[in-house]
Amino acid sequence: MSLQNEVKKSRSFLFRLPHGCDLLQELNRLCSENGITLGRLEAIGAVQSAQIGFYDQTTRVYEFMTLGRSLEIVKLTGNVSLKDGKPFVHAHIALADRDGTMYGGHLSEGTIVFACECLLESFEGSRFERQPDSQTGLSLWSKA
Ligand code: ZN
């Protein structure tokens, strides 16, 4: 497979999210308000509670797990592209409790920030739009 979808880093932002915000909603809002339609992001910090998803490849349904307690964000990593014409953040998160036990999965709404430091890099390049993918049942980039 030849890689044809080269992107160029255009802008980088370092910022902190407000205490008590919904992590995924806030990232989506920031991308929309700042016109970021393609990019990558990473973050560290802590959450007051978390909601993470696991995609069951057989049933093709997301199963969600609620972690109703304070946890460290060991790493959040994700990307920004377009879905239904709007900026869409897809992120996965690794969380740890006080014993260092790790939990992780697909970041979902309902994850509440205690403190969060983010790096967001926006890219210039061709348009990345998510489309329904029949092989997986997911909404994926149509570009290979
Ligand atoms: Zn995911």
How many folded domains does the chain comprise? 1
Residue 143: inside a domain, yes or no? no
Residue 144: inside a domain, yes or no? no
Residues 21-50 have pLDDT tens digits of 999 999 999 999 999 999 999 999 999 999
Rounded to the nearest angstrom, the distance between the alpha carbon of 19 and the centre of ligand 1 is: 24
Q: How far apart are the first and last CA of the chain?
A: 8
Listing DSSP states for 54-110 in one string gives: EEETTTTEEEEEEE-S-EEEEEEEEEEEEETTEEEEEEEEEEE-TT--EEEEEE-TT
Q: What is the CATH number of the domain that holds 90?
A: 3.30.1330.80
- Residue 27's domain comprises 12-123
- Block residue for tokens 């307690």: 69
Residue 44: inside a domain, yes or no? yes
Rounded to the nearest angstrom, the distance between the alpha carbon of 16 and the centre of ligand 1 is: 23
Residue 138: inside a domain, yes or no? no
Rounded to the nearest angstrom, the distance between the alpha carbon of 90 and the centre of ligand 1 is: 6
Confidence band of 93 (pLDDT split at 50, 70, 90): very high
Distances (CA, A) of 67 to 47, 56, 96, 108, 114: 10, 19, 11, 12, 14
Residue 74: inside a domain, yes or no? yes
Residue 134: inside a domain, yes or no? no
Residue 5: inside a domain, yes or no? no
Rounded to the nearest angstrom, the distance between the alpha carbon of 115 and the centre of ligand 1 is: 22
